[in-house]
Amino acid sequence: MSWFLKKTNGTVYGPVELARLQRWAGDGRIAPGDLLSPDQQTWRPASDVPEMDMVWQVELPDGTCYGPIHLLAMGDLIRDGTVLPTARVRNRQTGAEHILSQVLLQALLAQSAQLAGAAAEPRDPRLAENSQQLSHHVAAAPSNPPAEFAGGAADDWRDIAAQKDVWEKAALKWQRMYTDAQARSERREQQLEARIADLRSEELAARTQLEDALRRLKHLEQLNAQILLATQGKTDLELLAIQRVALLEAYDGLAQRCDSLMRRLDAKTTEFDELSALVAHVEKQAEERIRQMEAQVRQARSDAEGARQRALTLEADHLQLLRAYREINDLYIRLRQKFPAIRTRPRDNSAAAELSPPQPE
String of DSSP letters for 17-50:
EHHHHHHHHHTT-S-TT-EEESSSSS-EEGGGSG
| Torsion (CA) 135, 137, 161, 16 in degrees, nearest 10 | -80
Task: Report the DSSP pairing between strands 2-6 and 12-17.
Answer: antiparallel
Q: What is the mean pLDDT of the chain?
A: 76
Residue 286 is assigned to a structural domain of this protein: yes
User: How many structural domains comprise the chain?
Assistant: 1
Q: What is the rounded CA–CA span in Å between residue 29 and residue 32?
A: 10
Is 91 a residue whose pLDDT tops 90?
yes
| Short-list 257, 269, 263, CA closest to 203 | 269
Residue 233 is assigned to a structural domain of this protein: yes
- Using alpha carbons, list the distances in angstroms from residue 176 to 131, 186, 189: 35, 15, 20
Alpha carbon of residue 104 to chain centroid: 17
Q: What is the rounded CA–CA span in Å between residue 317 and residue 321?
A: 6
Q: Residue 260 sits in a domain of what CATH number?
A: 1.10.287.1490
Residue 168 is assigned to a structural domain of this protein: no
For the residues 260-278, what does the mean pLDDT come to?
A: 84
Q: Which residue has the higher pLDDT, 238 or 260?
A: 260
Residue 32 is assigned to a structural domain of this protein: no
CA-angle at 78, arms to 7 and 309, nearest 5°: 55
Tell me whether the omega of the peptide bond preceding residue 85 falls within 30 degrees of 0, making it cis: no
Residue 86 is assigned to a structural domain of this protein: no
Is 305 a residue whose pLDDT tops 80?
yes
Residue 199 is assigned to a structural domain of this protein: yes
Q: Which distant-in-sequence residues (6+ apart) come within 8 Å of 175 by Cβ?
A: 297
Residue count (the chain): 361
Categorize the per-residue pLDDT at 120 as very low, low, confident or very high, splitting at 50, 70 and 90. Answer: very low
Q: Which domain holds residue 247?
A: 175-298
Q: What is the pLDDT of residue 44?
A: 92
Contact 61, 54 (CB under 8 A): no
Phi first, then psi: give them for residue 50, nearest 5 degrees: -60, -35
| Short-list 252, 272, 279, CA closest to 207 | 272
Q: What is the rounded CA–CA span in Å between residue 231 and residue 241?
A: 9
| Weakest-pLDDT range from 40-49, 136-145, 160-169 | 136-145
Highest mean pLDDT (candidates 211-215, 306-310, 341-345): 306-310
Q: What is the rounded CA–CA span in Å between residue 21 and residue 8?
A: 16
| Weakest-pLDDT range from 48-52, 103-107, 145-149, 260-264 | 145-149
Is 154 a residue whose pLDDT tops 60?
no
Is 17 a residue whose pLDDT tops 80?
yes
For the residues 25-32, what does the mean pLDDT come to?
A: 88
Q: What is the pLDDT of residue 301?
A: 83
Q: What is the pLDDT of residue 247?
A: 78
* pTM assigned to the model: 0.35
Is 45 a residue whose pLDDT tops 90?
yes
| Short-list 24, 75, 27, CA closest to 49 | 24
Contact 317, 160 (CB under 8 A): no
Contact 18, 3 (CB under 8 A): yes
Number of other CB atoms surrounding residue 227 within 10 Å: 13
Q: What is the rounded CA–CA span in Å between residue 41 and residue 255?
A: 98
Phi first, then psi: give them for residue 3, nearest 5 degrees: -130, 160
- In terms of Cβ atoms closer than 10 Å to its own Cβ (0-12, 13-18, 19+), residue 160 is buried
For the residues 77-100, what does the mean pLDDT come to?
A: 87
For the residues 98-119, what does the mean pLDDT come to?
A: 74
Categorize the per-residue pLDDT at 353 as very low, low, confident or very high, splitting at 50, 70 and 90. Answer: very low
Alpha carbon of residue 3 to chain centroid: 32
